[in-house]
Structure 1
Amino acid sequence: MSSDISYTTEEIAAILKISKLTVYDLIKKGELPSYRVGKQMRVDASDLEAYKQRMKSASKTADSPAAVAAAHDSSQAAAASAARSGQRSVVITGQDLSLDLLAKHMEKSVPGIRPLRSYVGSLDSLVSMYRGESDIVSTHLLDGDTGEYNLPYVRRLLTGRSYLVVNLLVRRAGLYVRQGNPLRIADWSDLGRPGLRLANREIGSGARVLLDEQLRLHGIRPESLVGYGNEETNHIGVAGKVASGEADVGVGIEKAAAIVGQVDFLPLIRERYDLVFLKTPDNREWIESVVGILRSPAFLSELGAISGYDLSMTGQVLYET
C-alpha cells in the first residue's frame, strides 16, 4: 500500500466489515494509530495493514492453551484499566460545527466520558442509534406531509428505544445558485426546469431528505434533474460544485455558502437541528449534564459567536419517552 493513503473511520468500518463504534474502540485502545485532519479522524493504510497482519498472526495461535491464558489475562487487564480510568466512549454523530463545540465542552465538564465524533448524515445517525452504535445523534429531517422536523422520523426509527430529543439550534436551509443567480431560480418549483444541473447530497443526509421531500411535494421527478445521482458528502462540497460552474443548483445550509464564496444562497426554510440522546442505563447519569451544557452561558456564548444560528430554542426538551 502507498504510504500516503489514509482512510476515514467510516471507510475503515466498511473495509473491516465492523461497526464505526468498533473502529472508535480500536483507536481508543491504541490498536489502530490515528490522527485528525480537520474534523475527521484518519488512519494510514500502512497502519491498517499492520493491524490486519497482527490479527492474522493472532488467529493462528488463538486456540493454543498459552494463547487462551494470555487472552484471558489481557482481557482482565483491559477491563481493570477501563475501570480505573472510569471513562467510557460517547459517540456523537453529525457534521455541524456546533457538535465539535459541544464535544469540547463535554470533555471539559462531564467526568467519566470521552466524546468521540462520527461525521455521518441524519438518517444514518438514527439508524446507528437504533443499532446501539451511537449515544447522541444530530438530525435535521423534514417530514413533508406534516412540515415537522425530526420527530416523525425519530418515532418511526427508534421504536422500542428510550430516548430524549433536545433542540441544539435552528438554521436556514435552501438553494445554492451561481453567483448573480443568472438562471433566476427563486423557489423549489424551479427545480423542475428542463436541463437544470444539480449537485446532490448522499442518501441519508438531511439535505438529501429535504430535496427529495420538496421534489415529491412539487411533483418533480428526481430523474429529470441532471446530476441527481452525483453525490457530495457535505454542504461545502455541494456549494463548491455550484461555485465552480459544474452545477446550477444544490441544496444546503447558509453557512457553507459563506465559507465557499462565489455562490449565492436562497433561504427557503428554517430547519430545526435537534439532538437525540439514547437513554440507556449507562447514559442516563451524564445526559442531564450535557443538557446543562446546552443551556449554559459559556456554551451559548461560544455558539452565538458563529453566524447563522438561531439559539432561541437551544436546550429545550422537545420529546421524551
Structure 2
Amino acid sequence: MNEHSYTTEEIATMLKVSKLTVYDLIKKGELPAYRVGKQMRVDSEGLNMYKQRNRMSYEVDKRDMASSPASNPSSIIISGQDMCLDLLGSQLEATSGIKTLRSNQGSLNSLISMYQGRGDIVSVHLFDGQTGQYNLPYIKRILTGRSYIVVNLICRQAGFYVQKHNPKQLYSWKDLHKKNIKLVNREIGAGARILLDEQLDLHNISRESLIGYQHEETSHLSVASVVKQGKADVGVGIEKAAGILDVDFVPLIEERYDLVILKTTENQSWIHHALSLLRSPEFKQELEALGGYSTNYTGQIMYEQ
C-alpha cells in the first residue's frame, strides 16, 4: 500500500478539491510529489502525511476561538506543525477519550494564542541567541501571569536544506555571507525563521544582503521542496523533511522541541495522563519509529510555573 502512487486527478477526487488546488498544494510543498514523464504523481505516504497534518483543521477553524477551554473541557487544542503532534493527539484520544483539535500555527504565534487563552498544548522550538537556549526565554516572556508546564516531546536536528552535493558549499551559518546565495525563508513566527534571524544576528549577516529573505513558505516540506526544485540554494528546517523530499541536509544544531501545557482547573484532569503517556516506553518507541527524532528527554519536565 505504501508503494502505491496517485495521479493529480485521483488526488483531486479523493480530497474533493479541484485539480488546480492539488497543483497549488504541490507547488507550495505541502503535498510531496514527483514527476514521471510529463505527469506528476503523489505516493500514498505523502498523501497520508498531508492528511495527518491537516487532520481536524476544519473543526479548529470552525471552533469559536474566543471560547475558553472551560466551555468545552472534553476537547483540547494542540498547536504546532510537526507530525509527531498528530501521534500525540491520536494517542491521547485513544487512551483518555479526550477529543484533540489541531492548530497548525508556528511556535511564536502558538505561544501568543496560549497567552490569550486559546490553546491547551503548544509546541515550541524557539532559539534565543543571547542565551543560547531553546524555548524558555520566550515562554517566560510571553506567558507572564500564566501557570504552565514545559515538557520535552523530542529533540531533532535543524540545519540547511541544500541542493544535491551542496554545489554552493554551505556548511555553516557564516557561509550565508557568500555572494549570490538564494534563500527561501519561513513565515514570521515560525521556529525556523527565528533560528535563522538569531543566527544572522550572531554572525553579523545583514538580512538585506540575502537574496530571497522575503520569499516565505509555511512548512519545512515546502521550504525543502523549493530547494529541491532549484528555485533556492538554501533553506532552514529539520532533517526529517529533507529525508522525505530527498534533498541534502547540513545539520547545524540540535533543537529541543518542547510542549507547553497550560495549567487550569479544567486541565488538571488530563495533564497527569498526558505526562504518563509521554513517559511510556511504548509512546517513545512510536516516536522513534517515525525517524529523525531523539527521545532522550521525552516526558521530562523542563520548567514549571
* Residue pairs, 1:63-142, within 5 angstroms: 88-111=74-97, 113-142=98-127
Q: Is the 8 A contact 1:87 1:114 kept in 2?
A: no
Partner in structure 2 of residue 26 of structure 1 = none
Runs of 4+ in structure 1 off by over 6 angstroms are none
For residues 60-81 of structure 1, the C-alpha deviation after alignment (integer angstroms, 9 at most, x for no partner) is: xxxxxxxxxxxxxxxxxxxxxx
Q: Determine which structure has more spread, i.e. the larger CA radius of gyration.
A: 1
Letter in 1 for 2:262: L
Letter in 2 for 1:198: L
* Residue pairs, 1:99-248, within 5 angstroms: 99-111=85-97, 113-248=98-233
Instruction: Return the offset for 1:37.
Output: 3.8
Q: Does 1:315 align with 2:299?
A: yes
Letter in 2 for 1:281: T
Closer/same/farther in 2, CA of residues 42 and 89 from structure 1, 3 Å limit: closer
SS at match of 1:242: helix
Task: State TM-score, norm by structure 2.
Answer: 0.78
Q: Is the 8 A contact 2:161 2:242 kept in 1?
A: yes
Aligned length: 250
Partner in structure 1 of residue 243 of structure 2 = 258
Partner in structure 2 of residue 297 of structure 1 = 281
Letter in 1 for 2:53: K
Q: 2:125 and 2:160 mapped to 1: Cα distance? A: 16
Q: Does 1:39 align with 2:25?
A: no
Structure 2 residues not aligned, in runs of 5+: 1-15, 22-49, 63-69
Instruction: Return the offset for 1:194.
Output: 2.1
Closer/same/farther in 2, CA of residues 320 and 307 from structure 1, 3 Å limit: same
Task: State TM-score, norm by structure 1.
Answer: 0.74
Letter in 2 for 1:39: R
For residues 12-42 of structure 1, the C-alpha deviation after alignment (integer angstroms, 9 at most, x for no partner) is: xxxxxxxxxxxxxxxxxxxxxxxx9442146
* Residue pairs, 1:5-44, within 5 angstroms: 37-40=51-54, 41=56
SS at match of 2:290: coil
Structure 1 residues not aligned, in runs of 5+: 8-35, 49-81
Letter in 2 for 1:133: R
Letter in 1 for 2:78: I
